[in-house]
Amino acid sequence: MKRNSIFVRLTIILGIMVLVNLISNRLYFRLDFTADSRYTLSEATKNILEELDDVVTVKAYFSEDLPPQLLGNRQDFEDQLVEYENRSGGNVVYEFINPNESEEVELEAQQSGISPVIINVTEKDQVQQLKAYMGAVITMADRQEVIPLVQPGAGMEYSLTTSIKKISIADKPKIALLQGHGELPLNSLLQLQQQLSVLYDVEPFTIGTDPIPTFYKAVAIINPTDTISSSDLAKLDDFMALGGNIFVAKSTVQGDLTTASLSRAPDIGINAWLRDKGISMGNSFVIDVNCASVSVRQQQGYFTINSQVTFPYFPRANNFGDHPIAQGLEDILLPFVNNIQVTRADSAINVTPLILSSEQSGLVNPPAYVDINKKWATSDFPLQEQILAVAVEGNIMPNASSKLVVVANGEFVSNGENGQQQQAEDNVNFASNAIDWLSDDTGLIDLRTKGITSRPLDQTEEETKALLKYGNVFIPILLLLIYAFVRKQANLRRKQKWMEGVF
């Protein structure tokens, strides 16, 4: 009887384990407590995976003998692929390949565009160099994308999803990058082009005698320096009158650190064009207590050293409006930027500030000179928030719904003439988000800005700093004295009871 009872119990336990295993395969889930939700698929990723109409194959080239600090990266990537496979209904398949197992496999990985990284590993008090592979090749039909190095964290999802998105779009919509008026060329916008290439084909475009083609989802005008003729501005108006959308990045002021001069930028005609749309570009430099630093060479005795000096003419904006373009942004650097004023109060349009300075801001009217050694005081920043970028939506042109984004700086996404100057991640994210919004495709915005990139400390008043400083010193002492007093009183009460014979 006992044997039968044990057998029945074991059978029940085994059945429960099989049932739980089957249910877990069907109902896969995990809890994500990370601040940037790195283990939770974004809505953009889910939508892209659910819309796949063909099989995507992921070949993950990962070395198996990775050191412990990198094994987690491999496991996270595999867990990510499991979720992609489940969410896509089997349209994402994957395999892991160890390139270190043979020279043939290693050559295959390198020919696919995946290069090894050299890692220093300490074993038995000896430092050895390990050649490790951590990349992936994503293919769909005859199209292929390569992730040379799988980055840990939220960037893992962005790399994988954007690669899948690239190869799943056969005909990408087009974005026009206006040229012919001294605008930034495509080779000076490498970071922006790389992000936009996921969804769009970005083409240089010069206005001719014909109207601007309506197949362009948006026209981007970035840092023009030469006069834009009235006929070209009229064609931009015609483009908007047909529902076209425009992105403008241009400052009315310019600064030169080599000569320490601050001046107004030449009027090229776009200011009046924007004024007709209710956007007035100010002619003053915005300075902000929340700013970047610049490197200054200073002489100290016989030595010349480079020191970092705060520079209010380079505001660091972390104050954003409630708009899809600004979703997830944390920190944007805008060197030599002017303010923007909204002059059109019209129910036919909706104007939303996108980027604002901090609550301690100021204006400097050019011409002026920069005193790099100036000791800035609170009185230098008497103004509240200044608008640095806006989004306009509605009937900007009569009887036509269109969109317009204006940023009071044309250099914030520039990579320089040779493309070597790196811009802050959120600078590029903002421009990409703006193009997405103008093109009516906001799918990648929440994924592009996913992940913690900056957590600047809040500004604290001097009085608060002093209070915290002295509080950290005296509060523990006070607590210790209170504890000692309470402990002493308790001992006295116990002693008194003992003397009175009360136990």
- Assess contact for 224 and 181: CB atoms under 8 A: yes
8 A C-beta contact, residue 287 and residue 366 = no
Rg of the chain in Å (alpha carbons):
30
The beta-strand segments (E) located in 38-180 are 56-62, 92-97, 117-123, 126-132, 134-140, 143-147, 174-179
Q: Which of 274, 259, 264 is nearest to 364 (CA)?
A: 264
21 and 78 co-located in one domain: no
Same structural domain for residues 222 and 355?
A: yes
Torsion sign over Cα 416, 420, 425, 429: positive
Supply the pLDDT for residue 331. Answer: 92
**Rounded to whole angstroms, how far apart are CA atoms 153 and 73?**
8
Q: Please state the domain count of the chain.
A: 4
Last residue of a domain, one of 99, 134, 167: 167
DSSP state of 27: S
Length of the chain: 503
Q: Which residues contact residue 79 at a Cβ distance below 8 angstroms, ignoring those fewer than 6 apart?
A: 39
**DSSP string covering 424-492, please?**
PHHHHHHHHHHHHHHTT--TTHHHHT-S----PPPP--HHHHHHHHHHHHHHHHHHHHHHHHHHHHHHH
Domain membership of residue 1 (yes or no) is: yes
Residues 74 and 214 in one domain: no
Residue 454 belongs to some domain of the structure: no
Q: In Å, how far are 225, 415, 419 from 411, measured between CA atoms? A: 12, 9, 13
**In terms of domains, do 10 and 122 share one?**
no
Other CB atoms closer than 10 Å to residue 429's CB: what's the count? 25
On whether residue 379 sits in a domain, the answer given is yes
Q: Say yes or no: 203 and 324 in one domain.
A: yes
Within 13 Å and on the Cβ side, how many CA atoms surround 101? 10
Q: How confident is the model at residue 502, as a pLDDT? A: 61
Q: What pLDDT, on a 0 to 100 scale, did the predictor assign at position 376?
A: 92
Collapse the DSSP code of 143 into the 3-class scheme (helix H, G, I; strand E, B; otherwise coil) and give the result.
Answer: strand
Note whether 200 and 252 are same-domain residues. yes
Where residue 123 sits, what CATH number does that domain have? 3.40.30.10
Instruction: Please indicate, yes or no, whether residues 73 and 11 belong to a single structural domain of this protein.
Output: no
DSSP annotation string for 284-320: EEEEESSEEEEEEEEEETTEEEEEEEEEEEEEEE-EE
User: Could you say which of 150, 167, 184 is where a domain stops?
Assistant: 167
Tell me: do 152 and 223 sit in the same domain: no
SS3 229: coil
Q: What is the extent of the structural domain holding 493?
A: 463-503
Instruction: Give the other-Cβ count within 10 Å of 111's Cβ.
Output: 8
The answer to whether position 153 is within a domain reads yes
> What pLDDT, on a 0 to 100 scale, did the predictor assign at position 198?
87
CA distance 164 to 148: 15
Global pTM reads 0.78
223 and 251 co-located in one domain: yes
Distance CA 78, CA 59 (A): 11
Mean pLDDT, contiguous 10-residue spans, the chain (503 residues): 69 82 63 63 85 91 82 87 90 92 89 86 69 90 89 78 87 94 95 92 95 96 96 96 96 92 95 94 96 79 76 95 91 95 86 95 94 90 96 91 96 90 93 93 73 57 75 86 87 79 62
Clarify whether residues 293 and 196 are in a common domain. Answer: yes
Examine residue 434 and state whether it is found in any structural domain, yes or no.
yes
Domain annotation covers residue 457: no
Whether a cis peptide bond, with omega within 30° of 0, leads into 367 is: yes
Q: Look at residue 455 and tell me if it is in a domain.
A: no
- Angle of CA points 462, 463, 465, to nearest 5°: 60
Report yes or no on 349 lying in a domain. yes
329 and 416 share a domain?
Answer: yes
CATH number at residue 406: 3.40.50
Question: Both tokens of residue 421?
Answer: 């100057």
- Euclidean distance between CA atoms 390 and 408, whole angstroms: 9
Q: Looking at the structure, do residues 197 and 242 belong to the same domain, yes or no?
A: yes
Tell me the Ramachandran region of residue 101: left when phi exceeds 0, alpha when psi lies from -120 to 50, beta otherwise. alpha
